[in-house]
DNA sequence: GGCATGAGGCTAATGCTATTAGCCGAGCTG
DNA sequence: CAGCTCGGCTAATAGCATTAGCCTCATGCC
């Protein structure tokens, strides 16, 4: 991955976060980079490829974030651990809401992802749970609940004045023990 | 709403479900209707308007579905009721996955919705819970969890072989009582 | 019966999107 | 110095939403 490529990827990421996922286009990226649209094809074979690089980087950053929290906040209390993980999940998603949307809303072509990036995010998320099949179900239900809470919040689906932290509290309590 | 309008709306809905949300465009709709694209503007003022009509109809159909289940399956057991609601939620979303995506993934312009449609879906979903603030949090957490489970399933994010029904079971058990 | 009106088509055109082909200059490397 | 590669460029295509303006047919009204 050349330096110029990384430059353009970061430009694209800032474009997405600052102007919304809907503004993500090669035309807008080229404009921000002060080059013509077709020149972008010297660095990426297609929009899909660039998109999946950004998604992969999102997965990896997500994994790093969660792993950091898990390492520094490991407590004896099950509820504390779940709460810390939940808080980290929400904080990360709300810090990068448009890229979170990109990561979760688009049909995923796994052949275009940076190998292992999706798994890294999953592992970071699920490592807290044991390896029994029953715990796998529990892990996936918890993941889904966190994703649902975050995704409804990002897309503004909770009524104004809704106590979102309260809903997170219910979720944490329901999944502790 | 003229008969021709309804005809075109239903054509658009079948287009979305049969060819995926990504295939939803005025060009494709016009092709299926055997007319030219600009003629669609005799019936809808913009793509956004048509999109929000379809979203509204999705909300209303969702509400009808859930209300029906709640009326016919009311049981004394809290867990049975939650399970019936959860099953209905999942069944509905999986029966109309692409329109469910349209309903939940797009930025919502509430001024363009059929008035009351979003609320109808919310009410159907939340009427099972009491009116106390604490129960509101519980209702929203449950809603988010169901949405998360369905949205991850539709977008193929669970690993192959994952026991999705098992995850739903964990969710139902966690939210019963 | 004739006439106006509206519904619902149409074509042409604009400016956006991704994408491909092909050209050109600058800089490094043999 | 020759040549290659990197990274720009223009021109062009096809599809996208959208607007303006034209035409035709059916309906209702005088």
Q: What is chain A's pLDDT, residue by residue, as a tens digit (177 residues)?
A: 999 999 999 999 999 999 999 999 999 999 999 999 999 999 999 999 999 999 999 999 999 999 998 888 777 777 888 999 999 999 999 999 999 999 999 999 999 999 999 999 999 988 888 778 888 999 999 999 999 999 999 999 999 999 999 999 999 999 986
Residue B54 CA distance to nucleotide C8 C1' (Å): 22
Q: Do residue A141 and residue B145 have CB atoms under 8 angstroms apart?
A: yes
Return the residue of B nearest to A136 by Cα.
Answer: B167
Q: Closest by alpha carbon to B149, among B108, B88, B90?
A: B90
CB contact under 8 A, A145 and B140: no
Please list every residue in chain A whose beta carbon sits closer than 8 Å to the beta carbon of residue B107: 22, 155-156
Q: For position A133, what pLDDT does the model report?
A: 80
* Collapsed DSSP state (helix, strand, coil) of residue A6: helix
Residues 6+ apart with CB under 8 A from A26: A37, A40, A47, A50
Closest nucleotide to the alpha carbon of A43, via C1': D7
Q: What local confidence, expressed as pLDDT, does residue B31 receive?
A: 97
User: Per-residue pLDDT tens for B63-76?
Assistant: 999 999 888 877 77
Domains and CATH numbers, chain A: 1-44 (1.10.10.60), 54-174 (1.10.357.10)
Tokens 């651990």 found at: A81
As a whole number of angstroms, the distance between CA A110 and CA A118 comes to 9
Distance CA A126, CA B87 (A): 25
Mean pLDDT score, B112-125: 95
**pLDDT tens digit string along B52-61?**
999 999 999 9
Residue from the list A134, A151, A174 with its beta carbon closest to the beta carbon of B174: A174
Burial of B1 (0-12, 13-18, 19+ CB in 10 A): exposed
Q: Is the CB of A22 under 7 A from strand C?
A: no
Q: CA angle, corner A103, sides to A110 and B53, nearest 5? A: 110
Who among B107, B163, B166 is closest to A155 (CB)? Answer: B107
**DSSP run (H or E) holding A55:** helix A47-72
* A107/B22 CB distance under 8 A: yes
Indicate if the pLDDT at residue B140 is higher than 90. yes
Are B157 and A131 within 8 A, CB to CB?
A: no
Structure tokens at B149: 């489970």
């Amino acid at each position: 991955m050349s330096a110029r490529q990384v430059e353009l990827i970061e430009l694209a990421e800032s474009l997405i976060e600052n102007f919304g996922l809907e503004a993500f286009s090669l035309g807008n990226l080229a404009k921000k980079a002060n080059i013509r649209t077709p020149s972008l094809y010297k660095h990426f074979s297609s929009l899909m490829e660039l998109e999946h690089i950004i998604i992969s980087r999102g997965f990896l950053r997500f994994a790093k974030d969660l792993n950091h929290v898990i390492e520094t906040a490991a407590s004896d209390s099950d509820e504390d651990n779940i709460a810390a993980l939940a808080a980290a999940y929400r904080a990360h998603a709300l810090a990068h809401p448009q890229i979170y949307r990109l990561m979760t809303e688009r049909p995923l072509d796994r052949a275009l992802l940076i190998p292992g990036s999706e798994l890294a995010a999953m592992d970071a998320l699920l490592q807290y749970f044991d390896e029994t099949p029953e715990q796998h179900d529990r892990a996936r239900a918890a993941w889904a609940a966190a994703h649902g809470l975050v995704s409804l919040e990002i897309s503004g689906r909770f009524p104004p004045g809704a106590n979102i932290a309260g809903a997170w509290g219910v979720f944490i309590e329901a999944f502790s023990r």
